[in-house]
Amino acid sequence: MITTPGIAYLARTRDFAAGIVISASHNPWQDNGIKIFGSDGYKLPDAIELEIETEIFARMEKAAGETPLSGGPSLPGSLRLRTDYVEWLAGLISGAGKLRVVVDCANGAACAEAPEVFRLCGMQTEFIHNEPNGRNINDNCGALHPEVVAREVVARGADLGVCFDGDADRALFADDQGNVINGDAVMLLLARDLKRRGKLPGDTVVATTMSNMGLEVALRSAGIKMLRAPVGDKYVLEEMRKSGAALGGEQSGHIILSQVATTGDGLLTALMVLETVARSGKSLAELVADLKVFPQTIKNVKVREKQPLNQIPPVQHAIAAAERDLDGSGRVVVRYSGTETLARVMIEADSQEKMEKHSTAIAQAIQEAIGV
């Protein structure tokens, strides 16, 4: 058992043709899937993934009714490979041992590595949801439920908490007051620290269309430019490679530090945040206190088809009306989910009234046109 970013690291640092991960990622165990990395440690392009998928289904059809192949031998030295990854992570930070941390492993892959990583770093850690049974991954725990670790931080009197998703490519945090610290706040914290140390090329950060306007405002006040990419870590990474940015990520806690890794790595993110907090001498809450979050709502509308939204006049009229009314004091993002038959309507506004009014109007227009 190893995390998704652990496989990405090994694929690019050892003589492997590819890295393959079988995991439910941030989903329930029933949604087990496959992630593939090339020998460079980057996720494969969509076109190559489609070729592989087509061949897999063709072979499955051909092999129907045949006796399944028995399992092959385990990879020689596989435990050593995992240790190499753990030791690499631990060697990246100089120390944050004085912090008391609650760690939620989401009953996933982090259970195999997080205890050893934090031990090597000399941290005082208490672990929860670190007993995976194959079916309890992400089950009311981890980065999908950060309020759980937030409660534990307060109950145990810890300095902060961190929670991973099932394959540990995401990390979210909680401060000592029980507040959840999402990916936007993490990017602000790390961006200012990297800039201060001269390690933020072009003073640029890449976020997504879903990142709050408050992050953009806070970064701008620190002299940092924020670029926006479509939702999805691969789109963030594409923009980072194009712009030369060293830091990018999503609200979900999928943070990419491109000078160190080729994909989001929850353990790496956790170590960087903990080191930054320890170095500052301040609490996590103090370090992100100036992030003023614009009111934001997201409405999901189940649709029967993903018809291009710009071809549905009532939807376009509702979006245009919202943008006119907000007039630069908010944002409208309407898009389809990449994995579900849903349209997502996200509105940010400087008032709760405008936010609710326009999100409801747009969602209703979608529902009437193509809703289920």
Residue-wise pLDDT tens digits, 200-258: 999 999 999 889 989 999 999 999 999 999 988 989 999 999 999 999 999 999 999 99
Instruction: Give dist(CA 123, CA 274) in Å, integer.
Output: 10
Look at 29-38, 57-66, 290-299 and tell me which has the smallest mean pLDDT.
Answer: 57-66
Structure-block tokens of residue 53: 């998928």
What is the pLDDT averaged over residues 326-341? 87
Q: Which whole number is the average pLDDT over 28-54?
A: 92
Question: Rounded to whole angstroms, how far apart are CA atoms 135 and 358?
Answer: 40
Q: How far, in Å, CA of 190 to CA of 255, rounded?
A: 10
Rounded to whole angstroms, how far apart are CA atoms 335 and 338?
A: 9
Confidence of residue 60 (pLDDT cuts 50, 70, 90): confident
The average pLDDT across 318-346 equals 91
**The residue to which tokens 């194009």 are assigned:** 242
Residue 259 has pLDDT above 80, yes or no: yes
User: Could you give the angle at which helices 110-120 and 266-280 cross, rounded to 10 degrees?
Assistant: 30
The strand ranges marked E within the chain are: 18-23, 33-38, 100-104, 124-128, 160-164, 171-175, 180-181, 204-208, 225-229, 247-249, 255-257, 296-302, 330-336, 342-349
Q: What is the CA radius of gyration of the chain?
A: 22
- pLDDT value at position 90? 94
Rounded distance between C-alpha atoms, residue 313 and residue 259, angstroms = 44
Could you tell me if 300 and 324 are in contact, meaning their C-beta atoms sit under 8 angstroms apart?
no
pLDDT, residue 74, reads 61
Beta bridge partners of 347: 297, 332
pLDDT value at 65 more than 80: no
Work out the pLDDT band at 69, boundaries 50, 70, 90: low
User: Running DSSP on this structure, what letter comes out for residue 199?
Assistant: -
The mean-pLDDT minimum among 170-179, 259-268, 273-282, 291-300 falls in: 291-300
Model pLDDT, residue 231: 87
- The reported pTM is 0.86
Which of 4-13, 17-26, 151-160, 336-345 is predicted least confidently? Answer: 336-345
pLDDT range class, residue 77, cuts 50, 70, 90: low
Residue 221 annotated among the catalytic residues of the structure:
no
pLDDT band with cut points at 50, 70 and 90 for residue 265: very high
Query: What is the biggest distance separating any 2 CA atoms in the chain, rounded to whole angstroms?
Result: 64
pLDDT at 63: 80
Question: What integer pLDDT is reported at residue 98 of this predicted model?
Answer: 83
Residue of 166, 198, 165, 167 lying closest to 183 (CA atoms): 165
**Rounded mean pLDDT of the chain?**
93
Of 5-19, 66-80, 277-291, 327-341, the least confident: 66-80
Tell me how crowded residue 305 is: count the other CB atoms within 10 A of its CB. Answer: 7
C-alpha to C-alpha distance for 246 and 255, rounded to whole angstroms: 11
Instruction: Please determine, for residue 87, whether its predicted confidence score (pLDDT) is greater than 80.
Output: yes
Q: Which of 23, 25, 211, 252 is catalytic?
A: 25
**281-330 tens-digit pLDDT:** 999 999 999 999 888 899 999 999 999 999 999 999 999 999 999 987 88
Supply the pLDDT for residue 71: 59
How far apart, in whole angstroms, are the C-alpha atoms of residue 56 and residue 161? Answer: 41
CA distance 361 to 301: 12
Predicted pLDDT at 19: 96
Query: Per-residue pLDDT for 75 more than 70?
Result: no
Rounded mean pLDDT, 101-130: 96
219 and 191 Cβ atoms separated by less than 8 Å = yes
Distance CA 318, CA 309 (A): 11
Share of the chain above pLDDT 90, in %: 80
CB atoms within 10 A of CB 142: 29
CA-to-CA distance for 164 and 107, rounded, in angstroms? 9
